[in-house]
Chain A
Amino acid sequence: MTSRTAALRRIWHRAGPILTILAVLLAVWYASAVALNAAWAKDKAKRADTVLTFSELVSDTMSQDKPLLPAPHQVAEEIYKTTVLKKVTSKRSLIWHGWITLSATLLGFAFGTALGMLLAVGIVYSRATDMSVMPWVITSQTIPILAVAPMIIVVLNAVGVSGLLPKAFISMYLSFFPVAVGMVKGLRAPDQMQLDQMRTWSATKATSFWKLRLPSSMPYLFASLKIGIAASLVGAIVGELPTGAVAGLGARLLAGSYYGQTIQIWSALICAAILAASLVALIGLIEKITLKRMGMLS
């Protein structure tokens, strides 16, 4: 009994503050929805020559077609309608759009991870690569690549590469950096004593890579993978903006903003958030399992 209350208290200790703040945020959202949409509701009432009571006003602010800020339940309803009630193959299904974005994200993430790891190995094992490439890897991130996205899409389209690959390319560019930097840090994590130990056993470079450097880099790698996959998703979404708004969550955003469909914008936004959270959580899970099997998790 006491252990159960202790466990409950521990859960509350962790979740309580988060839930409280989420509840506050939800309340703020509703309040803002009323405040922001009230002007339109009053305007409409004025034209119809009626005076709204407060409760009518509030209910009107939460049921507009194109509100300035849709209420949370309107967004939830829209998400429900476009996921559960629509066939997955329908172009109006958010799951379909989400899948388009997700596939580009995953492809770009895979490329980015591979490129980042290769670069990291090159940087750790070759002084020349370290000195020549590392400063540019860092500079490459001060270049707002997302701004270049439209050009990459258009150019790749012009040479006949279209669909998934151009978006994946942008995702790759965004995700290789955290992976490369984290991996360099990780591969350099073994201290001098551990490296000297390998030397006393006259281990080859390859052996000390597989037995020492690579295992030591795992915690760093996973930390960067989480950043990388979030960046990949951003890349894929922005990559969808200039394709003429056909498919994907980014396209839903752009189409929504063209036609003032705020509820559609917000449902795409929430979907993107859920997608990002699940991807990061998935990597977190793989991290936990891997590190546990390697005995690196206490």
Chain B
Amino acid sequence: MNWLIYALIFWLASWALNVRIANSAPSRFKSILVPMLFGFSLLGLWEGLVSGFNISPILLPPPSMIAARFASSLPILWEDFVQTFVKGALSGYFIGCSAAFLTAIAIDRSDFLKRGLLPIGNFVAALPIIGMAPVLVMWFGFDWQSKAAVVVIMVFFPMLVNTVAGLSAKNEIQNDLMKTYGAGYWQSLLKLGLPAAMPFIFNGLKICTTLALIGAIVAEFFGSPIRGMGFRISTEVGRLSLDMVWAEITVAALAGSAFYGTMALIEKAVTFWHPSQRS
């Protein structure tokens, strides 16, 4: 019972602190400190509640137990990470995004294709494409190739739709300007079309980071070699060792955030001129 009270007091105290910091003069440091503090207070609350209510670790292991498990199974976690993230997600992400990018450039010249493909692309982007996983596992086998294939079709349409939207983002004046210079198609594309499309392209790239990870992990539920994050999660759930599952989830969360963060950083460097990046 004491645990419970401590946990609640700890959480309330850190929330009060957060409110104080948030309402003081803003700074860059504070905008990192506040969510960090909030995150830690949640972890503290979790630990306290699990101990306070005597929740069985089979249902919900406390953060300390997950951390211990994480530290002691680094080699397995690394092996799974390489199989699922590096081989499955990254290669699929790269192939899918490049293919979508090239397709977008190919159809950008044809109004007919654009009017036909865009509604279909938008439609497909809203479909539960992940359901294609069993089919692709059947076609490409159990290893990472089938996971990469799932990722390819998951990221293709969001990326296509974003790139096509981006390529039409150039404004009328900038376009006319290119005409008055007598610029050719490729000159226009290189100097105007692509730079103007960059904010949209990066939006697509960022959305696709999450999709890639989800695709690679869920595809493993339909068959995989005896390694990989999805494989580990489904087998460890079956053995009720949830601390290992949470350790995998931690890896997935870290990898997902790092992947997203990397794309966001590159975006910041490339589209520094865009109003959304300037402040």
Residues of A participating in the B interface, judged by any CB pair closer than 8 Å: 13-14, 16-18, 20-22, 25, 36, 68-69, 127-128, 130-136, 139, 141-148, 150-151, 154-155, 158-159, 226-227, 230, 233-234, 237-238, 241-242, 249-250, 253-254, 256-257, 260, 262, 265-266, 268-269, 272-273, 276-277, 280
Contact = CB atoms under 8 A, between A and B. Distances in A.
A253 B256 CA distance: 27
Given A17-B114, A226-B126, A265-B135, 5 more contacts: A139-B257, A142-B253, A143-B256, A145-B214, A154-B240
Given A14-B115, A128-B19, A233 B128 contact: yes
Given A136-B38, A226-B126, A273-B127, A257 B257 contact: no
B261 to A, nearest CB: 8
Contact of A142 (B116, B218, B260): B260
Interface of B: 15, 18-19, 21-23, 30-31, 34-35, 37-39, 58-60, 112-117, 119-120, 123, 126-128, 130-132, 134-135, 137-139, 209-210, 213-214, 217-218, 221-223, 229-230, 233-234, 237, 240, 242, 245, 248-249, 252-253, 256-257, 259-260
Contacts of A150: 221, 233-234, 237
B111 to A, nearest CB: 8
Nearest to B246: A151
B135 A21 contact: no
Is the contact region of chain A dominated by helix, strand, or loop, or is it mixed? helix
Contact of B242 (A135, A151, A237, A276): A151
Contacts of B139: 36, 68
Contact of B253 (A14, A143, A276): A143
Q: Which secondary structure dominates where chain B touches chain A? A: helix
Nearest to B213: A144
Contact of A146 (B123, B214, B222): B214
Given A17-B112, A128-B19, A146-B218, A234 B137 contact: no
Closest 3 CB pairs of A and B: A17-B116, A257-B134, A132-B38
A244 B123 CA distance: 30
B37 A234 contact: no
Contacts of B248: 147
B22 A130 contact: yes
Given A142-B209, A158-B59, A132 B35 contact: yes
Contacts of A148: 233, 245, 249
Contacts of A233: 128
A131 B18 contact: yes
A281 B126 CA distance: 11
B249 A147 contact: yes
A145 B233 CA distance: 12
A60 to B, nearest CB: 20
Given A132-B37, A150-B234, A276-B126, A18 B116 contact: yes
A269 B135 CA distance: 10
A142 B22 contact: no
A127 to B, nearest CB: 5
Contacts of A265: 134-135
A280 B128 CA distance: 12
A147 B131 contact: no
B245 A151 contact: yes
A237 B132 CA distance: 12
Given A260-B138, A272-B127, A147 B210 contact: no
B120 A18 contact: yes
Q: Considering residues B15, B237, B248, B249, which has the most beta carbons from chain A within 10 angstroms of its beta carbon?
A: B237
A132 B22 CA distance: 9
A227 B161 CA distance: 14
Given A147-B214, A273-B127, A159 B222 contact: no
Contacts of A36: 139
Contact of B128 (A128, A154, A237): A237
B60 A155 contact: yes
Contacts of B34: 128, 131-132
Given A131-B18, A272-B127, A256 B120 contact: no
A284 to B, nearest CB: 11
11 contacts: A17-B115, A17-B117, A132-B22, A132-B35, A133-B35, A142-B209, A144-B217, A151-B249, A154-B237, A254-B134, A257-B223
Contacts of A146: 130, 214, 217-218
A273 B221 CA distance: 21
A147 B230 contact: yes
Nearest to B233: A147
A262 B130 contact: no
Contacts of B245: 148, 151
A49 to B, nearest CB: 29
